[in-house]
Amino acid sequence: MDLDTLHRRYVLTPWSAQASLNPPVIVRGEGSYLVDREGKRYLDLTSGLVAVNLGHGHPKVVQAIQDQAQTLCYAPPSFFHDKRALLAARLSELSPWPEGARVFFTPSGTEANEDAIKMVRHLTGRFKILAAYRSFHGSTHGSSALTGENRRFSAEPAIPGVVHFFAPYPYRSPFYASDPEEEVVRALDHLERVLLHEDPSRVAAIFLEPVVGSNGVIVYPQGYLEGVRRIADRYGILLVFDEVMTGFGRLGAPFAAQRLGVAPDLITFAKGVTSAYVPLGGVLVREGLAKRFDQEVLWAGHTYAGHPLAVAAGLAAVEAYLEEGLFERAHRLEGLLREGLRALYEKHPFIGDVRGLGAFFALELVKDRATKEPLSPWHAPLSPAVQALLRALLREGVYVVAKHNILLIAPPLTIKEAELEAGFQALGRALRGLEVEVR
Ligand SMILES: Cc1ncc(COP(=O)(O)O)c(C=O)c1O
């Protein structure tokens, strides 16, 4: 059986109707590129799933995994382990809290959110949780309950106690606001109303992606997160930032919390912590809260919590970010991405909006700039037009992830300027092809 047939016959691919799949067979990764078995190279403009922040095959991380595999591949989470302690200490240093933090390791992002749900309920003795529409927090049932889009529905009724609210989205204001300031005032008013109707004394936490990830790279206008922090404090509610996408330099700082100047109480992370080379996630809990678990039992755990191969990869990845100045580099990339994508906007009417921060941008695609009708509808699978665009990009040798009508442009922080420029050119050609096809 050839490999395509074998894959099709035996593997179930996530979030897909299997018969529609026809992807390349990837055999290698080199820097900003994935390479298929024919040797064709694909420029990775979405860092895998906004995760491979160091690019593919970073030698320092590969070496660390090899070294760890030679010495110890598994240790029970109940034992202490050198790399686990060193990585946790590093993450505490990089956290936004002067008091520092403790780290609860998980195998993935969704499990980090599951455990954060347990923790905020334990820490407050309260039950309800608020989360935003247009959000993604993972695919297990608790994280699905938090999620505010169609990847939640297959898990419903998921877990009880989660209430959704609308957060700012200036391009399609849910509050009929005419400018970002008005959007912030109305969004905060809405959040407080939702809280009051739920009884704030029953609410444990508000979960938010500090910059919305796969649902559109929505950068909240200035003042919103500050306002959410004030509201949370007013009612003794904990604030949790889901930094699974925004952490580890994506926004030009260790965490979005620093770039945006608002500190939550807990941070969930995954993806970039190991540049996605080995599965690892976790919850950072600020010290003032974490010390409660000195005497009270932390009722959560995983066989792979703080897995030696994962924490060794994490430690090496974090060192690489710092040694190579990659958090700063994301600031340089921000200028290049804004300029390059804005130039595409000027030429291509399918682009309704360009937005982002750091090395995290989105192109929001529309049928018509005046009506803003999305090029792929909200609750349906990707439209034929967006699928055609992704196919054209693959033919061009460019890999980009799309969710709804959003193209996620989030290259490795190590991408070279010439590679990025080549990516813009390919995006332009693919968009032009689609315009010609539709007309
Ligand atoms: C913001 C956010 N939270 C959580 C998750 C889930 O992480 P994982 O896929 O590691 O379970 C994702 C995955 O894309 C994410 O983008």
Return d(Cα 250, Cα 73) in angstroms, integer.
Answer: 29
List the structure tokens of 84. 């686990």
**143 CA → ligand 1 middle, Å:** 9
The gap between the terminal CA atoms of the chain, to the nearest Å, is 42
What global pTM score does this model have? 0.98
- Please give the pLDDT value at position 122: 98
Q: For residue 380, what pLDDT is reported?
A: 84
Q: Which of 215, 269, 271 to mutate to test the pocket of ligand 1 (most atoms within 8 A of CB)?
A: 271
By the 8 A CB rule, do 257 and 96 touch?
yes
Residues 6+ apart with CB under 8 A from 367: 350, 373, 374, 375
Kindly list the protein residues whose Cβ atom lies closer than 6 A to any atom of ligand 1: 49, 108-110, 113, 136-138, 209, 213-214, 242, 244-245, 270, 281
- Domains of the chain with CATH codes: 3-46+325-438 (3.90.1150.10), 61-323 (3.40.640.10)
pLDDT tens-digit profile, the chain (439 residues):
889 999 999 999 999 999 989 999 999 999 999 999 999 999 999 999 999 999 999 999 999 999 999 999 999 999 999 999 999 999 999 999 999 999 999 999 999 999 999 999 999 999 999 999 999 999 999 999 999 999 999 999 999 999 999 999 999 999 999 999 999 999 999 999 999 999 999 999 999 999 999 999 999 999 999 999 999 999 999 999 999 999 999 999 999 999 999 999 999 999 999 999 999 999 999 999 999 999 999 999 999 999 999 999 999 999 999 999 999 999 999 999 999 999 999 999 999 999 999 999 999 999 999 999 999 998 888 999 999 999 999 999 999 999 999 999 999 999 999 999 999 999 999 999 998 887 6
What pLDDT shows up at residue 437? 83
Task: Report, in angstroms and rounded to the nearest whole number, the Rg of the chain calculated over CA atoms.
Answer: 21
pLDDT attached to residue 436: 87
What number does the ligand 1 atom closest to the CA of 270 have?
A: 10
